[in-house]
Structure 1
Amino acid sequence: MHIYFPIPKITNLAEYVGIKESLAETYTFFDGNALDGARFFFGVKNPAVEIVRGRKYVTETLKDDFEDFDNSQDLIQQGSRNSTVNHFAGRVLIRYGNTNEARELFDKKASLCSPPLPDDELEQIWRSACKFYKKVAASEDYVPPEEYTEGINLRPSEFSDIGQAEVFVREYQDRIRFSPSTGFLVYNDSYWEESELKAQGYSQDLVLKQIEEIDNELLKMDEDIKKSGIRDIMSSMSEKKAMEVFDKSQKSIYYKLTSLEAYKKYAVKRGDTRAIHATLKESKPMLEIDQRELDTDEFLLNTPSFTVDLKTGECRDHKAEDYITKETSVDPSDENMDIWLDALETFFVKDSELIEYVQKVAGISLIGKVYIEALIIAYGDGRNGKSTFWNTISRVLNLYSGSISADILTVNSKRNAKPELAETRGKRLLIAAELQEGLRLNTSNVKQLCSTDEIVAEKKYRDPFKFIPSHTLVLYTNHLPKVGALDEGTWRRLIVIPFEAKIEGSSDIKNYTDYLVDKAGGAVLKWLIEGAKKAIDEDFKFSLPKKVADAINEYKESNNWFKHFLNECCEIDSSYEEKSGEVYQEYRAYCLRTGDYVRSTTDFYSALSSNGFMRRKTNQGIVINGLKLKSDFV
């Protein structure tokens, strides 16, 4: 049987013979008696021909051997372990010298042995290889690796996904981080932004830099290669014989040339889509950062040109090590401050006490930590400026601001809140807009969103994670939600800011939010920073203005369902008593008449107890002391 391998067109006899000699040295099945330039063609009757198509010439495999041997991840089976590891130790020492890098590569290769070689045996193999290397290094014509790797900085220690990832991390770790909960974070000279695409761009950039590095070195070597004559020598004999002929200078040039060629072949492959993504995948553990390390300083506010310290009002340059992931849309400025102050006068009907209070409350939304555990409810009829006010602030805060569905704050919401909650991590202002009339507030969700307790959240297709809320929660609405809870803990968390203006006629500017952001965005931010500083200086303890206190009390009274029931259906006196079951049944009937939500017996009797009405057992059943049903309802 004859096997024929196609090769590139060759017209030089010596080169052709050299290729055959190299093949014979590499493949033991090659006929050693057929190394000259003769070619014989045999005629065969009725030949059986099988064609196997390949992707490369056999000559190309000769250049791949060293690279494939180095980077093979195949297990080294018993029977070939010692010889393979011995052989690799010698080659890696000659290539990298007696360095930590060489030892690490040796240990990686040895880890592929199946079953593993004993540690003492591996140490003996390494010591023997080092002795061999000393002899080689002492030879006059030995070329140390630093001579043929000079000028090469981006070459991986091993041609593999992990090797490329190590270079990637070394070159870009000051600009790229990875967190399982956020994905890749890329520093853009101002803040760390979540961007898989930009991380991919850096992986591509590394490949381009590697190829550029190689091409520059090859260009520098071009004249030396021509003068050395190594190509002519290589074309006339095998590599083994050529190495015997080369002097030290020629060997140095040859080693560098073959090293660069292998490196370039590898670098070109790294440009494949699979390889680009493989680099990113293997870099993740090396670049990992805990999401809790992000945005840790609650008093730093990032703007396009600088970072503001809210405690002092001072500005400084951006720093990657701050790990800030947000940025405002504008820098603070005095420009058109009069426009913003005029708008405030309109929104709050020239109430200076209310404006001063709102400045501090809004200023707190710049701080990345919850210092006031409250839901801010901006309430009033339409066309009063509440949405314009908060949307202007939201637009100025830009990435620091986010939105949340208002129905998450209500009872019976069927929405999966976790993806939305995940987007609130690191936000400083969270806005919910407009509730339908008659909806009840989910006090449990409100407490969670306004507290400093950890929240469990999960972005789509990412790992769940926990974070501590850092936001001020604002709801602006024409309809106040109903509140069933009577406890002080709930009402302490509800702050109602009334918007009583009527913006219409000549005072109604179309697209008012756009106008304020475009004309006075910097002024808005400066006003907010001043408000944050005031709140910090007062240790976040400032009294409610009369309008806010009155609005909260009115809201609380209107939601005191138990008091409404007593006033409507009961008479109060310490001498009165009524059967407990009949009182609760009348309460249910009252709710059906008024359309109010019916509380459970547990909630109803808890409200009785909280208001001083005690229940006791009698021979006629359980009675309630201190009240009786009005005669109309008996």
Structure 2
Amino acid sequence: MTLTALVMDYDHLTAEQTGFVFDQSAPWASVAYSSFSHDPSLPNGWSFRLMLFLDRPIAAAEHAGLWRVVNERLGGVADKQANDVGRVWFKPSCRYDTPDEARLFLVHQGEALNVNELLAEAGATSGARFAAVQAPVALCRVAALPKPIAEGGRNSTLTRLGGALRRQGLDEGALATALLDENARRCEPPLPDEEVVGIARSLARYEPEHPLLRINCTDWGNAERLVHTHGDNLRYLSPQGRWLRWEGGRWRTVDQSALLPMALRAIRDTHAAARDLPNPEHRDRLVRHALQSESAARLRAMTQLSASLLPIDADQLDRDPMRLTVENGTLDLRSGALNEHSRGDFITRKLGVVYDKAATCPRWEAFLGRAFGGDAALMQFVQRAVGYTLTGETTEQALLVLKGAGANGKSTFLSVLRSLLGEYALAADFASFLAGPTSIRNDLARLSGARLVSASEPERGRPLAESLVKQLTGEDPVTARFLFGEFFEFVPNFKLWLCVNRLPQITSDDAALWRRLRVVPFDHVVPEDERDPHLLAKLRDELPGILAWAVRGCLDWQRHGLGQPRAVAEATLAWREGADTVTAFVGEVCETRPDVRIDSGALYAAYLRWCEGCAETPLGASAFGMRLSGLGFQRVKGAQGRRRWSGVNLAERSEVAEDELVAKEEPVAEVAEVAEVAEVARGTSWGARALGIVPLTEPRSPDPEWGDEAEYETEARYDSDEHDDELSLDLSRPLERPGASL
């Protein structure tokens, strides 16, 4: 939902208050029209709506903050019960007996409201925000005075007005501004400016009324007290229902229960301030309200209502991908400069490391030198990759895979990297990136905002979820949601680092996928007698130096890009060649000529046997067929609709021999296919084991080119060019055990 206008509802204003609202809103494009209770003949009879047009659409979450700032600018007298998002349009109306000349309809040809400027004001500290508007707001609230101020009553009237303003907290400068304006507009004739400034100076000697005492004694008033006391340090992220609290140099997610002590403190501050009031009636009323507000229900209401007063949109968080919060400031990764922490950066994570540009890490550099066999180009690549990981940029679209046998340092490397990134790092289950059933991706939702996501040791035999990997290493939004939560979008700004002993399976030759993959080889195995069980702790002691090393790597990445040294290119190419089991099978077992053909079942059965002999995980039948098609082989139909592959055959077999294979061997292959279907249908594996075939780990997908799903669910049929006999298996009946005749 987006809004293009802001509606302010005003009821029972004086003519002076109405004039103030119109004066302040005059620069803005707006329409004002009377509401039903409008009757300007009454002292407080002005009731109208003011529709203000915006320079850009706003999200629902931005409405409350924008409404609050505009209301402050216009005197703070709009109806706070009518500030919900749904009130975006009201029909103009008046009582039937209201004279035509009393009906109100005004159009201001001004500029649209600058939404970003006003929201920035909403996000400013409370003191700065109220200082900018306190004089006109306070003046409007006490402006129900006779229009002219005649000679003889000018000083006393301005003193009375100034006293009311001082009680509301205006300082000397704001008092002088308000009284000089009032003097020029209403005093006849105006007093000398020096006299008016003297009134302001005299009034400023008095202590103002405590701000918590000027707020209504209601649940909404309590919410305003919480905002006044702690609003600089709280924001509410409405789409995800999360509270953020400024803590330790970043905006940290907290539960709503964490706000209860803050709410209680605001109430007790109100209680303490009320005890000093000279007016006993006023004092007793506020003390009674404060005591009642300490109940659990009132405190919960206080925190719940304050959410709408402190909104922030997800787009405002972590906006700068090149800024990084550390213990002693915020790093600008563009230059390596360290700045002070700032609430306005709206950064939500932090490294738990102090940044020292001059810090060193000799043990870390020695560790890398040994792990990579002194390969300087590979070490520089890793330094750039770690520096790139510090940022929220994903322009390289790279997935880094640390590969090697055990005891080679890759797990230690990744543990140090996670310690370095602190709150920016998340450890994920490797299964999140493997092919499998799709469901609510709670595991993906938690990755939003991270810059390092790491996972170790995939389950053997399961391929990578290739489309997901491409999505997570790209620059397009990802849709996810927390369990029982609303869907939301986020743009991944994390880098994926995977740690494996055995590279995961990839079933396609998609260039868009392979260009993302970078294999970092850890080939050096540390002898057992040279292993240091305390190495990880020693490396963590060098984290300040490792951070300085990583920042230098980030600057180098910005100059030269990530690149790809020879060791990484060769390791990645070897993975690509080894991952393509179908190409390897065709190269080792088959002959390829335009004039040869082979039955599809026979070829797939041979592939399964080959995978078993090579200890490779086979592709499913559908993926196998898709890969053969990708290699340029074509599916054809032989006699009686038999399915064949054209252009490929098992080696050293002529087409005549292939026909003999159909007669003698293909029934076995077809039975293997039938057993596979039966295994999927019944959860048994005896049929495939009896035939010496490795059972598939996924069900056969029906091939739309050869029939529909029902063909596979109910009947497997074998037809031969050489034989009229038909071998069929009806899966609606239980299969007989091994040894029984088919």
TM over 0.5: yes
What amino acid maps onto 1:163 in structure 2? G
Matched position secondary structure for 2:624? helix
Please give the residue correspondences for 1:460-475 in structure 2 after superposition, counting only pairs within 5 Å. Answer: 460=483, 462-475=485-498
Distance 1:427 1:417 in 2: 20
In structure 2, relative to structure 1, the CA distance for the partners of 1:595 and 1:258 (3 Å cut) is: same
Distance 1:412 1:562 in 2: 21
In structure 2, relative to structure 1, the CA distance for the partners of 1:627 and 1:153 (3 Å cut) is: same
Asked if 2 retains the 8 angstrom alpha-carbon contact of 1:186 and 1:199, the reply is no
Asked if 1 retains the 8 angstrom alpha-carbon contact of 2:595 and 2:647, the reply is yes
In structure 2, relative to structure 1, the CA distance for the partners of 1:503 and 1:438 (3 Å cut) is: same
Distance 2:397 2:167 in 1: 65
Asked if 2 retains the 8 angstrom alpha-carbon contact of 1:182 and 1:194, the reply is no
Matched position secondary structure for 1:167? helix
What amino acid maps onto 1:186 in structure 2? R
Please give the residue correspondences for 1:129-528 in structure 2 after superposition, counting only pairs within 5 Å. Answer: 150-155=208-213, 157-180=215-238, 181=240, 183-188=242-247, 190-196=249-255, 197-215=257-275, 217-218=276-277, 221=278, 256-333=279-356, 334-412=358-436, 418-460=441-483, 462-505=485-528, 507-517=530-540, 519-528=541-550
Matched position secondary structure for 1:193? strand
Asked if 1 retains the 8 angstrom alpha-carbon contact of 2:222 and 2:267, the reply is no
Deviations 1:80-108 (Å, cap 9, x if unpaired)? x99xxx99979xxxxxxxx9556748999
Partner of 1:53: none
Residue 554, structure 1, aligned to residue 578, structure 2? no
Deviations 1:491-534 (Å, cap 9, x if unpaired)? 222211111222345642223222211x2010111111111111
Deviation (angstroms), 1:597: 5.1
What amino acid maps onto 1:475 in structure 2? L
Distance 1:148 1:311 in 2: 49
What amino acid maps onto 1:628 in structure 2? N
Asked if 1 retains the 8 angstrom alpha-carbon contact of 2:213 and 2:273, the reply is no
What amino acid maps onto 1:188 in structure 2? E
Partner of 1:611: 631
Partner of 1:629: 650
Deviations 1:294-326 (Å, cap 9, x if unpaired)? 101000011011111111111111111110001
What amino acid maps onto 1:521 in structure 2? L
What amino acid maps onto 2:242 in structure 1? G
Distance 2:143 2:453 in 1: 68
Query: Which has the higher mean CA deviation after the structures are superposed, 320-329 or 402-411?
Result: 402-411
In structure 2, relative to structure 1, the CA distance for the partners of 1:530 and 1:263 (3 Å cut) is: same
In structure 2, relative to structure 1, the CA distance for the partners of 1:419 and 1:604 (3 Å cut) is: closer
Distance 1:320 1:107 in 2: 30
Deviation (angstroms), 1:436: 3.5
Matched position secondary structure for 1:396? helix
Distance 1:626 1:103 in 2: 80
Deviations 1:129-183 (Å, cap 9, x if unpaired)? x999869x9999x998668774221135422111222232344332111013151
Matched position secondary structure for 1:432? strand
Deviations 1:338-358 (Å, cap 9, x if unpaired)? 122112212222211110011
Q: Which has the higher strand share?
A: 2
Deviation (angstroms), 1:404: 0.7
Deviation (angstroms), 1:372: 2.1
Deviation (angstroms), 1:123: 10
In structure 2, relative to structure 1, the CA distance for the partners of 1:477 and 1:579 (3 Å cut) is: closer
Distance 2:419 2:621 in 1: 47
Aligned residues: 489
Asked if 1 retains the 8 angstrom alpha-carbon contact of 2:384 and 2:562, the reply is no
Deviation (angstroms), 1:186: 0.7
Partner of 1:535: 557
Asked if 2 retains the 8 angstrom alpha-carbon contact of 1:189 and 1:320, the reply is no
* TM value normalised by structure 2: 0.59
Deviation (angstroms), 1:438: 3.3
Deviations 1:217-257 (Å, cap 9, x if unpaired)? 34xx4xxxxxxxxxxxxxxxxxxxxxxxxxxxxxxxxxx33
List alignment gaps of at least 5 residues for structure 2.
Answer: 1-35, 46-73, 84-90, 103-141, 169-207, 662-742
Asked if 2 retains the 8 angstrom alpha-carbon contact of 1:176 and 1:199, the reply is no
Distance 1:443 1:117 in 2: 57
Matched position secondary structure for 2:550? helix
In structure 2, relative to structure 1, the CA distance for the partners of 1:104 and 1:576 (3 Å cut) is: closer
Matched position secondary structure for 1:573? coil
Distance 1:425 1:131 in 2: 50
Matched position secondary structure for 1:486? coil
In structure 2, relative to structure 1, the CA distance for the partners of 1:498 and 1:321 (3 Å cut) is: same
Partner of 1:43: none
Distance 2:469 2:143 in 1: 72
Distance 1:210 1:88 in 2: 33
Deviations 1:581-623 (Å, cap 9, x if unpaired)? 6434544565566675554555334323322334456768665
Partner of 2:63: none
Matched position secondary structure for 2:649? strand
Asked if 2 retains the 8 angstrom alpha-carbon contact of 1:402 and 1:429, the reply is yes
Deviation (angstroms), 1:466: 1.2
Asked if 2 retains the 8 angstrom alpha-carbon contact of 1:89 and 1:106, the reply is no
Deviation (angstroms), 1:559: 1.2
Distance 1:419 1:106 in 2: 37
Distance 1:341 1:275 in 2: 58
Deviation (angstroms), 1:384: 0.9
Asked if 2 retains the 8 angstrom alpha-carbon contact of 1:364 and 1:532, the reply is yes
What amino acid maps onto 1:627 in structure 2? V
Q: Larger Cα Rg: Structure 1 or Structure 2?
A: 1
What amino acid maps onto 2:559 in structure 1? D
In structure 2, relative to structure 1, the CA distance for the partners of 1:463 and 1:160 (3 Å cut) is: farther
Asked if 2 retains the 8 angstrom alpha-carbon contact of 1:422 and 1:458, the reply is yes
Distance 1:480 1:158 in 2: 65
Asked if 2 retains the 8 angstrom alpha-carbon contact of 1:176 and 1:184, the reply is yes
Query: Which has the higher mean CA deviation after the structures are superposed, 326-335 or 143-152?
Result: 143-152
In structure 2, relative to structure 1, the CA distance for the partners of 1:592 and 1:131 (3 Å cut) is: closer
In structure 2, relative to structure 1, the CA distance for the partners of 1:511 and 1:200 (3 Å cut) is: farther
Partner of 1:26: none
Distance 2:395 2:143 in 1: 68
Distance 1:480 1:102 in 2: 66
Distance 1:309 1:432 in 2: 28
Distance 1:325 1:164 in 2: 27
More contact order relative to length (CA 8 Å, sep ≥ 6): 1
Query: Which has the higher mean CA deviation after the structures are superposed, 578-587 or 287-296?
Result: 578-587
What amino acid maps onto 1:169 in structure 2? V
In structure 2, relative to structure 1, the CA distance for the partners of 1:300 and 1:599 (3 Å cut) is: same
Distance 1:123 1:102 in 2: 24
Distance 2:422 2:544 in 1: 12
Partner of 2:671: none
